[in-house]
Structure 1
Amino acid sequence: MTRRRPSRSASADDLLTTLGRLTAQARRRVELQHARVELAEALQRAMLPPFLPAVPGLRTAARYAPARDGLDIGGDWYDGFLLPDGALAFCVGDVQGHDVEAAVIMGQVRIGLRAVAAAAGDPGQVLSRANDLMLSVDSTLFATCTFLRFDPVTRVLESARAGHVASVWAAADGSSGVAEDPGGLPLGILPGETYPVIRRRLTDTGAFVLVTDGVVEGPAFAVEDGLGRVAALASAAVLAGEAARDGADPGALAAEVLKVAELTGHSDDAAVLVLCHDSVPEGPVGAYGPG
């Protein structure tokens, strides 16, 4: 007599069907999440400049890394462009939030800075006008920013910052530090805000590094520690460039600085902008003293 295998109960069949459906749903969610990540990164990178300006004696580089959880569109950016009078403009900034609105505002602020910089006299005026522009778009978000203007003839670097993390400098004599310059409130908070301008003559060999807070601050890292590590990296790069007699490599330095973000425990996106400058025959010693 042939024995028949007992049929599965209806509850077992239902369980298998449910597991199959959940597996398919999970697979679709993973695929959708992967597509979102790729779209977010493509959108962010499309908003960054394809190249940075440079002149003899000034070499530039930048790096950007998306949020390390890979799920959010960040609001960090960097930019560099030529001004009508032949000066070079550079900026780094961070829009509050990590969503599509933050990315849109970031794009608007970046374009707005380019527009107002063409007519403004100095970085303080640029940020003041950009602040008014951001307030006019009626957004609840705000943005921090550091804006630089470099005159290749006088070698004067003008800077102003709107609530942004401090910049870092390093010189060929081995000294380095954090440029704790005075600044104003972030863009988009208070109408009529003013932004002090600091002027430096870059007559000696050195480097100037701008970062967003995702590079130097996080749950496992105080911002002072992060900036200290960046200063050490900048100093080492400048000294290595002097030893090789070919100047510091801004691309290599930017890549090393971006690695600091891995130590912070932060999930934010991160941006780095590096200016490496060579010495000139004339000019006062001490390129980093306000003047």
Structure 2
Amino acid sequence: MNRRRPPRSASADELLTTLHELTAQARREVELHQARVELAEALQRNMLPAHLPDLPGLRTAARYTPARSGLDIGGDWYDGFPLPDGSLGFAIGDVQGHDVEAAAFMGQIRIGMRAIATTASDPGEIIGRTNNLLLSVNSTLFATCTVLRFDPVTWEIDSARAGHVPAVWALADGRTGIIDDAGGLPLGIAEKQRYPVTRRRLTGQGAFILITDGVIEGPSFSIEKGLEAVMRRASVLAGSGAGELADEIIKAAVLTGHEDDAAVLVLCHDSAPGRT
């Protein structure tokens, strides 16, 4: 009767060789992942503005914090730019996903919107033309955004949004509210969309706070709870500096579980000229 031989035990040298190969493979995978993360971070840094415009009586600040999953990068963005009628434009947005592709698409949106804003001042028109431009490049991604126009003569803000989360207003006397105006579809979904514009006159000293959903929403944290958290923080600091307020608002992202990247854009304004 033939008996099967027991399996040969691996020698110490063979085990060491296998361990060395596995360690080398793991190191290569870590280095590849790190290279992708560094590339994504470089894309994000170079696609967000180094400075935001401001004017006497208007102070601005923005903050960005990466996601805690994926490549620690994403498509959240903000921007500020002069408009052809002498007013200032501000934008915040959120591209689907958080990877290199989302960061690159975010860059396309920001560059395209800036180019369009050299010939258009109306926020609804800027968003609509940006939407048509993005559809022309046949991307499979979509994005939400809000665009504001601040008029330094009339002290008014015009706003329009494309599927984006509501903004928050706050006055130095502690009053706050949610800006949940009618909007249109996110960018990159359908052609020839119209984006309604809402106009507000700034009166008392306060702040306009634009956010992305990473600041206010998480797996077990609703948008409503997130907006309440932002309003609580804003009610205390609306009369402070823009940077201090932006620092405090971005902290709300921790409450959500912080699985998505997050961005905050703050416009702190004085009372309208001629009013106290």
TM-score band w.r.t. shorter chain: over 0.9
Give yes or no for the alignment of 1:94 onto 2:94: yes
* TM-score between the two structures when normalised by the length of structure 1: 0.87
Q: Distance in 2 between matches of 1:13 and 1:254?
A: 58
What's the % identity of the aligned pairs?
68
- Tell me, yes or no, if the aligned pair for 1:41 and 1:66 is still in contact at 8 Å: no
- What is the alpha-carbon root mean square deviation over aligned residues? 1.8
Match of 1:263 in 2: 255
Shift of 1:118: 2.1
Q: 2:241 aligns with which of 249, 265, 279?
A: 249
- SS of 2:19 mapped into structure 1: helix
Q: Distance in 2 between matches of 1:280 and 1:157?
A: 12
- Tell me, yes or no, if the aligned pair for 2:155 and 2:202 is still in contact at 8 Å: yes
Match of 2:271 in 1: 279
Structure 1 residue runs without a partner (length 5+): 1-8, 242-247, 286-291
- Out of 159-168 and 122-131, give the one that drifted further: 122-131
Q: Deviations over 1:193-217 (max 9, x none)?
A: 1111010111210111111111111
Q: How many residues get paired?
A: 269
Match of 2:4 in 1: none
- List structure 1 segments (4+ residues) > 6 angstroms apart after TM superposition: none
Match of 1:203 in 2: 203
- Tell me, yes or no, if the aligned pair for 1:168 and 1:176 is still in contact at 8 Å: yes
Q: Distance in 2 between matches of 1:111 and 1:31?
A: 31
- SS of 2:107 mapped into structure 1: helix
Q: Distance in 1 between matches of 2:121 and 2:247?
A: 32
- Out of 221-230 and 15-24, give the one that drifted further: 15-24
- Tell me, yes or no, if the aligned pair for 1:75 and 1:102 is still in contact at 8 Å: yes
- Tell me, yes or no, if the aligned pair for 1:37 and 1:70 is still in contact at 8 Å: no
Report the AA paired with residue 73 of structure 1. Answer: I
Superposed counterparts of 1:84-123, under 5 Å = 84-123=84-123
Shift of 1:99: 2.6
- Tell me, yes or no, if the aligned pair for 2:71 and 2:99 is still in contact at 8 Å: no
Give yes or no for the alignment of 1:27 onto 2:27: yes
Q: Distance in 2 between matches of 1:224 and 1:134?
A: 30
- SS of 2:60 mapped into structure 1: strand
Report the AA paired with residue 51 of structure 1. Answer: H
Shift of 1:67: 1.6
Superposed counterparts of 1:145-160, under 5 Å = 145-160=145-160
Match of 1:186 in 2: 186
Structure 2 residue runs without a partner (length 5+): 1-8
